């Protein structure tokens, strides 16, 4: 998401930086292009208009026009305003001793999955979450929530067979929570509809009145564009939502929903779903997303992902291997899996400053899978001692991995080159040591 918008904005800013001096006409021309780029990205018309007005007012200031680097100054203004448009500072959940969180949204937006992702996120923060199945409209919703809860080892309260009253289910869940030995965070997964209707809103309003939740989080599908903004407006008007969970940020939608929703509803986007896996869920930090859209990268986000994926013990062991140039294919496979934990490699590269401008940035996932298949087709001894891989062994590996001998030879050649480079891996040693300290 945002790739098309990001490319266009960076082209505009590149042209601005090319001017030695900036005039009102330069700024007007650039902002006209920015406005068009925002509208093409499905940003609400009024939101785009107000945003351009704020940027223009600051960009025409004397400090910018007389600056030695006016192009950079305008980019700085744009980053600040884009951050403000997305919500400014990240807004955490309001957690109390006993917290009730109501998850609402339309069918297909990812409500049930997002409820489970939130439970896992809170569990990692050393909280005690529990899930409550209050979606009695969709037959598979209860079973889906129970399955997801089991995967993340979080208790799920399910209704008795034939129960049709969501408030009765909520009351029973609260009774169980009150008798628990430790305070819990109850996450209520509610029913959705294909579209907003009176029956849905009436049920949710009554549930809100009964539960008095600390948080009401709307799950909105970013891929639905302007429709997501309309949905958010209606839910906010009826329920006074406290925040938004934006799903499918890993998709190829144009991104206008994320840029419009905060401005239209005045409610913070608190979390973002960045993939299908349950751990692909993160705090929504406006400043970082603004930086990525403008090609500035997100180094802090990358470091956090690395710290989560790399255990201190693994980092220390890998550092020793690198230092002694004894890195083998077992280590290669371990490192490969470690990188996978951090998410899609294309997303990881996009978090590095300037990498979004690099042509051919896309990662060939099929090629990565072929590489992994080649290594998995080796015996334990062959991974440890790649030097024994003669022609016959290479043919067997190619057959086992569904690749060609040429591909096997290419991997071995690149691996040999990598091992030679590791003899001067001082910088790598320093990086891994720092990552290990962060983890501790």
- CATH number at 42 reads 1.20.120.140
Q: What angle do helix axes 45-59 and 256-265 make, rounded to 10 degrees?
A: 90
| Mean of per-residue pLDDT scores for the chain | 79
Are 107 and 192 in contact by the 8 Å Cβ rule? The answer is yes
CA distance 431 to 324: 16
- Say which range, 44-48, 82-86, 262-266, 431-435, has the weakest mean pLDDT: 431-435
End-to-end alpha-carbon separation of the chain, Å? 33
pLDDT at 24: 82
CA distance 303 to 431: 11
pLDDT at 25: 83
Q: Does residue 167 carry a pLDDT above 50?
A: yes
Domain of 282, CATH number, reads: 3.40.50.300
Same domain, 39 and 61: yes
Rg (CA), the chain: 26
Same domain, 131 and 234: yes
Structural domain count of the chain: 3
For the chain, the helix, strand and coil percentages under 3-state DSSP, each to the nearest 5: 60, 10, 30
Q: Does residue 146 carry a pLDDT above 90?
A: yes
- Higher pLDDT: 69 or 176? It is 176
3-class DSSP assignment, residue 344: coil
Strand 281-283 relative to strand 269-273, pairing = antiparallel
- Higher pLDDT: 416 or 359? It is 416
Grade residue 428 by pLDDT with cuts at 50, 70 and 90.
very low
Same domain, 78 and 177: no
pLDDT at 263: 84
Residue 391 CB neighbour total at 10 angstroms: 9
Mean pLDDT of the region 135-149 = 91
Mean pLDDT of the region 166-194 = 82
CA distance 357 to 359: 6
Grade residue 310 by pLDDT with cuts at 50, 70 and 90.
low
Q: Which of 210, 226, 167 is nearest to 191 (CA)?
A: 167
Residue 93 lies in a domain: no
- Higher pLDDT: 338 or 130? It is 130
pLDDT at 148: 96
0.75 cut: is pTM over it? no
Supply the range of the domain harboring residue 209: 99-296
Grade residue 231 by pLDDT with cuts at 50, 70 and 90.
confident
Q: Does residue 159 carry a pLDDT above 60?
A: yes
pLDDT at 403: 92
pLDDT at 440: 40
pLDDT at 78: 85
Grade residue 68 by pLDDT with cuts at 50, 70 and 90.
low
Where b means 16+ CB within 10 Å and e means fewer, 249-283 reads bbeebbbbbbbbbbbbbebbbbbbbbbeebebbbb
Same domain, 248 and 334: no
Residue 320 CB neighbour total at 10 angstroms: 13
Same domain, 286 and 414: no
Q: Which of 188, 185, 190, 178 is nearest to 129 (CA)?
A: 185
Which range has highest mean pLDDT (28-32, 119-123, 194-198, 330-334)? 119-123
**pLDDT tens column, 210-226:** 999 999 999 988 777 77
Are 260 and 294 in contact by the 8 Å Cβ rule? The answer is no
* Alpha-helical segments (H) within 164-255: 166-178, 198-211, 226-239
What residues have CB less than 8 Å from 352, skipping those under 6 apart?
Answer: 297, 299, 302
Residues making up the chain, counted from first to last:
440
Same domain, 58 and 121: no
Task: Return phi, psi of residue 281, to 5°.
Answer: -155, 130
Are 59 and 79 in contact by the 8 Å Cβ rule? The answer is no
pLDDT at 321: 60
Report the DSSP beta bridge partners of residue 283: 271
**pLDDT tens column, 248-305:** 876 655 667 777 888 888 898 999 888 888 988 988 888 877 877 776 544 445 445 5
Domain of 431, CATH number, reads: 1.10.260.30
Same domain, 123 and 249: yes
Q: Does residue 88 carry a pLDDT above 60?
A: yes
CA distance 239 to 216: 8
- Dihedral angle of Cα 382, 383, 389, 395, to the nearest 10 degrees: 90
Task: Count how many Cα atoms sit within 13 Å of the Cα of residue 357 in the half-sphere of its side chain.
Answer: 12
CA distance 321 to 317: 6
């Amino acid at each position: 998401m945002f790739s098309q918008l990001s490319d266009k904005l960076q082209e505009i800013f590149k042209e601005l930086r090319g001017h030695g001096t900036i005039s009102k006409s330069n700024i007007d021309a650039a902002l006209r292009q920015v406005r068009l780029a925002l509208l093409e990205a499905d940003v609400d018309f009024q939101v785009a208009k107000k945003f351009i007005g704020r940027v223009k007012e600051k960009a025409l200031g004397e400090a910018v026009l007389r600056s030695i680097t006016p192009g950079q100054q305008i980019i700085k203004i744009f980053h600040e305003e884009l951050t403000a448009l997305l919500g400014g500072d990240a807004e955490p959940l309001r957690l109390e001793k006993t917290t009730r969180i109501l998850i609402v949204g339309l069918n297909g937006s990812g409500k049930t999955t997002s409820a489970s992702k939130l439970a896992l996120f809170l569990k990692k923060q050393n909280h005690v979450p529990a899930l409550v199945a209050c979606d009695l409209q969709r037959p598979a919703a209860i079973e889906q929530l129970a399955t997801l809860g089991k995967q993340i080892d979080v208790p799920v309260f399910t209704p008795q067979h034939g129960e049709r009253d969501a408030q009765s289910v909520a009351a029973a869940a609260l009774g169980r929570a009150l008798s628990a030995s430790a305070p819990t965070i109850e996450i209520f997964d509610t029913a959705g509809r294909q579209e907003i209707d009176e029956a849905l809103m009436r049920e949710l309003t009554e549930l809100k009145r009964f539960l008095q939740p600390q948080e009401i989080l709307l799950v909105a599908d970013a891929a639905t564009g302007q429709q997501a903004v309309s949905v958010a407006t209606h839910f906010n008007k009826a329920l006074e939502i406290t925040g938004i969970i934006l799903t499918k940020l890993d998709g190829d939608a144009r991104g206008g929903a994320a840029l419009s929703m905060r401005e239209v509803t005045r409610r913070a986007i608190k979390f973002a779903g960045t993939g299908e896996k349950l751990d692909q869920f993160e705090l929504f930090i406006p400043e970082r997303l603004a930086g990525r859209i403008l090609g500035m990268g997100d180094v802090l986000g990358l470091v956090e992902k690395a710290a989560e994926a790399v255990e201190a013990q693994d980092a220390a062991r890998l550092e020793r291997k690198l230092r002694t140039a004894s890195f083998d294919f077992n280590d290669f496979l371990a490192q490969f899996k470690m990188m996978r934990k951090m998410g899609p490699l294309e997303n990881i590269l996009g978090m590095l400053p300037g990498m979004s401008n690099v042509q051919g940035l896309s990662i060939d996932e099929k090629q990565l899978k072929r590489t992994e298949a080649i290594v998995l087709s080796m015996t334990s001894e062959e991974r440890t001692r790649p030097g024994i891989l003669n022609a016959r062994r290479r043919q067997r590996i190619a057959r086992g991995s569904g690749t060609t001998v040429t591909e096997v030879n290419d991997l071995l050649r690149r691996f040999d080159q990598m091992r030679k480079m590791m003899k001067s891996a001082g910088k790598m040693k320093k990086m891994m040591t720092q990552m290990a300290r962060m983890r501790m």
